[in-house]
Structure 1
Protein backbone atom coordinates (compact mmCIF):
# COMPACT_ATOMS: atom_id res chain seq x y z
CA UNK A 1 0.00 0.00 0.00
CA UNK A 2 1.30 3.43 -0.90
CA UNK A 3 1.62 5.98 1.86
CA UNK A 4 -0.52 9.01 2.46
CA UNK A 5 1.64 12.08 2.92
CA UNK A 6 1.12 15.77 3.58
CA UNK A 7 3.78 18.34 2.85
CA UNK A 8 3.09 20.95 5.52
CA UNK A 9 4.36 23.69 7.78
CA UNK A 10 3.65 24.24 11.46
CA UNK A 11 2.13 27.70 11.01
CA UNK A 12 -0.24 26.78 8.16
CA UNK A 13 -3.97 26.85 9.06
CA UNK A 14 -4.89 24.99 5.87
CA UNK A 15 -2.51 22.20 6.89
CA UNK A 16 -4.39 21.90 10.17
CA UNK A 17 -7.67 21.66 8.26
CA UNK A 18 -6.23 18.94 6.01
CA UNK A 19 -5.12 16.95 9.08
CA UNK A 20 -8.58 17.29 10.59
CA UNK A 21 -10.33 16.12 7.42
CA UNK A 22 -8.11 13.05 7.09
CA UNK A 23 -8.35 12.23 10.80
CA UNK A 24 -12.15 12.57 10.68
CA UNK A 25 -12.20 10.11 7.78
CA UNK A 26 -9.83 7.74 9.60
CA UNK A 27 -7.20 8.06 6.89
CA UNK A 28 -3.67 7.59 8.25
CA UNK A 29 -0.97 9.94 6.99
CA UNK A 30 2.54 11.13 7.63
CA UNK A 31 3.62 14.75 7.80
CA UNK A 32 6.62 16.02 5.88
CA UNK A 33 7.47 19.40 7.37
CA UNK A 34 8.67 21.86 4.75
CA UNK A 35 11.30 24.09 6.33
CA UNK A 36 14.39 24.48 4.18
CA UNK A 37 14.82 25.79 0.64
CA UNK A 38 15.55 22.22 -0.49
CA UNK A 39 12.24 21.09 1.04
CA UNK A 40 10.39 23.80 -0.91
CA UNK A 41 12.23 22.76 -4.08
CA UNK A 42 11.09 19.16 -3.52
CA UNK A 43 7.46 20.28 -3.15
CA UNK A 44 7.71 22.39 -6.29
CA UNK A 45 9.28 19.59 -8.33
CA UNK A 46 6.72 17.01 -7.17
CA UNK A 47 3.62 19.16 -7.51
CA UNK A 48 4.35 22.20 -9.67
CA UNK A 49 3.16 24.28 -6.71
CA UNK A 50 4.95 26.24 -4.03
CA UNK A 51 2.29 26.20 -1.31
CA UNK A 52 1.37 23.89 1.54
CA UNK A 53 -0.38 21.71 2.29
CA UNK A 54 0.22 19.39 -0.62
CA UNK A 55 -1.58 16.10 -0.08
CA UNK A 56 -0.72 12.71 -1.55
CA UNK A 57 -3.16 9.83 -1.07
CA UNK A 58 -2.01 6.37 -2.14
CA UNK A 59 0.79 8.13 -4.01
CA UNK A 60 -1.64 10.31 -5.98
CA UNK A 61 -1.18 14.07 -5.73
CA UNK A 62 -4.58 15.39 -4.64
CA UNK A 63 -3.46 19.01 -4.21
CA UNK A 64 -3.97 21.53 -1.44
CA UNK A 65 -6.67 21.67 1.20
CA UNK A 66 -9.34 23.03 -1.17
CA UNK A 67 -8.57 20.20 -3.60
CA UNK A 68 -8.69 17.63 -0.79
CA UNK A 69 -12.02 18.95 0.46
CA UNK A 70 -13.49 18.94 -3.05
CA UNK A 71 -12.22 15.38 -3.61
CA UNK A 72 -13.84 14.32 -0.34
CA UNK A 73 -17.17 15.91 -1.23
CA UNK A 74 -17.24 14.57 -4.79
CA UNK A 75 -16.29 10.98 -3.88
CA UNK A 76 -12.96 11.21 -5.73
CA UNK A 77 -11.09 10.73 -2.44
CA UNK A 78 -12.82 7.37 -1.97
CA UNK A 79 -11.91 6.42 -5.53
CA UNK A 80 -8.25 7.21 -4.86
CA UNK A 81 -8.31 5.31 -1.56
CA UNK A 82 -9.86 2.28 -3.23
CA UNK A 83 -7.63 2.73 -6.29
Structure 2
Protein backbone atom coordinates (compact mmCIF):
# COMPACT_ATOMS: atom_id res chain seq x y z
CA UNK A 1 0.00 0.00 0.00
CA UNK A 2 1.25 3.47 -0.84
CA UNK A 3 1.68 6.21 1.74
CA UNK A 4 -1.49 8.11 2.62
CA UNK A 5 -1.87 11.73 1.69
CA UNK A 6 -5.57 11.43 0.95
CA UNK A 7 -6.69 9.46 3.99
CA UNK A 8 -10.40 10.05 3.38
CA UNK A 9 -10.81 8.38 -0.02
CA UNK A 10 -10.83 4.62 -0.46
CA UNK A 11 -8.92 3.63 -3.59
CA UNK A 12 -8.93 0.09 -4.96
CA UNK A 13 -6.91 -1.08 -7.95
CA UNK A 14 -7.66 -4.46 -9.51
CA UNK A 15 -4.48 -5.71 -11.21
CA UNK A 16 -2.61 -8.64 -12.70
CA UNK A 17 1.09 -9.33 -12.34
CA UNK A 18 1.75 -9.07 -16.09
CA UNK A 19 -0.10 -5.83 -16.89
CA UNK A 20 2.03 -2.80 -17.85
CA UNK A 21 -0.95 -0.45 -17.46
CA UNK A 22 -1.43 -1.72 -13.90
CA UNK A 23 2.19 -0.81 -13.16
CA UNK A 24 1.63 2.67 -14.62
CA UNK A 25 -1.55 3.22 -12.60
CA UNK A 26 0.15 2.15 -9.37
CA UNK A 27 3.13 4.38 -10.15
CA UNK A 28 0.88 7.39 -10.73
CA UNK A 29 -0.95 6.81 -7.46
CA UNK A 30 2.31 6.31 -5.56
CA UNK A 31 3.82 9.46 -7.09
CA UNK A 32 0.92 11.40 -5.58
CA UNK A 33 1.28 9.61 -2.21
CA UNK A 34 -2.18 8.10 -2.58
CA UNK A 35 -2.95 5.07 -0.42
CA UNK A 36 -4.61 2.25 -2.33
CA UNK A 37 -5.56 -1.38 -1.95
CA UNK A 38 -4.21 -3.59 -4.71
CA UNK A 39 -6.40 -6.56 -5.56
CA UNK A 40 -4.47 -9.04 -7.71
CA UNK A 41 -6.82 -11.07 -9.91
CA UNK A 42 -4.05 -12.86 -11.83
CA UNK A 43 -4.98 -16.37 -10.69
CA UNK A 44 -8.21 -15.74 -8.78
CA UNK A 45 -11.33 -16.33 -10.85
CA UNK A 46 -13.65 -15.30 -8.01
CA UNK A 47 -11.93 -11.93 -7.55
CA UNK A 48 -11.90 -11.37 -11.32
CA UNK A 49 -15.63 -12.13 -11.46
CA UNK A 50 -16.21 -9.63 -8.64
CA UNK A 51 -14.18 -7.00 -10.53
CA UNK A 52 -16.19 -7.60 -13.71
CA UNK A 53 -19.45 -7.28 -11.77
CA UNK A 54 -18.40 -4.12 -9.92
CA UNK A 55 -17.07 -2.49 -13.10
CA UNK A 56 -20.23 -3.07 -15.09
CA UNK A 57 -18.76 -5.80 -17.27
CA UNK A 58 -15.27 -4.45 -17.89
CA UNK A 59 -12.79 -7.31 -18.13
CA UNK A 60 -9.51 -5.47 -18.63
CA UNK A 61 -7.10 -4.42 -15.91
CA UNK A 62 -6.45 -2.23 -14.17
CA UNK A 63 -9.90 -1.36 -12.93
CA UNK A 64 -9.70 1.54 -10.51
CA UNK A 65 -12.35 2.49 -7.97
CA UNK A 66 -12.45 5.58 -5.78
CA UNK A 67 -14.95 5.38 -2.93
CA UNK A 68 -16.63 2.45 -4.66
CA UNK A 69 -17.17 4.28 -7.95
CA UNK A 70 -15.54 2.98 -11.11
CA UNK A 71 -12.95 5.36 -12.54
CA UNK A 72 -11.81 3.02 -15.29
CA UNK A 73 -8.30 2.04 -16.21
CA UNK A 74 -4.96 3.80 -16.41
CA UNK A 75 -5.97 6.05 -19.32
CA UNK A 76 -8.99 7.37 -17.42
CA UNK A 77 -6.96 7.81 -14.22
CA UNK A 78 -4.27 9.75 -16.09
CA UNK A 79 -6.86 11.89 -17.87
CA UNK A 80 -8.47 12.80 -14.53
CA UNK A 81 -5.06 13.68 -13.12
CA UNK A 82 -4.05 15.71 -16.19
CA UNK A 83 -7.35 17.62 -16.05
CA UNK A 84 -6.83 18.42 -12.36
CA UNK A 85 -9.92 16.43 -11.31
CA UNK A 86 -8.27 13.51 -9.53
CA UNK A 87 -7.37 15.47 -6.40
CA UNK A 88 -11.03 16.48 -5.93
CA UNK A 89 -12.20 12.88 -6.13
CA UNK A 90 -9.57 11.82 -3.64
CA UNK A 91 -10.60 14.52 -1.19
CA UNK A 92 -14.15 13.14 -0.94
CA UNK A 93 -14.90 11.06 2.12
CA UNK A 94 -15.45 7.36 1.65
CA UNK A 95 -19.00 6.22 2.42
CA UNK A 96 -19.39 4.80 5.91
- Normalised to the residue count of structure 1, the TM-score between the two structures is 0.90
Of residues 3, 8, 25, the one that matches 2:15 is: 8
Contact 1:55–1:63, Cα closer than 8 Å, also in 2: yes
Q: Larger helix proportion, structure 1 or 2?
A: 1
Please say which of residues 72-81 and 62-71 is displaced more in the overlay.
Answer: 72-81
Q: 1:58: how far off?
A: 2.9
Q: 1:2: how far off?
A: 4.4
SS of the residue 1:26 aligns to = coil
Structure 1 unaligned runs (5+)?
none
SS of the residue 2:79 aligns to = helix
In 2, the alpha carbon distance for the partners of 1:26 and 1:60 equals 20
- 1:23 and 1:9, CA in 2 relative to 1: closer, same or farther beyond 3 A? same
Aligned length: 83
Tell me, yes or no, if structure 1 residue 65 matches structure 2 residue 65.
no
Q: Quote the RMSD (CA, aligned, Å).
A: 1.3
- Normalised to the residue count of structure 2, the TM-score between the two structures is 0.79
Please say which structure displays the higher CA radius of gyration: 2
Of residues 44, 51, 67, the one that matches 1:36 is: 44
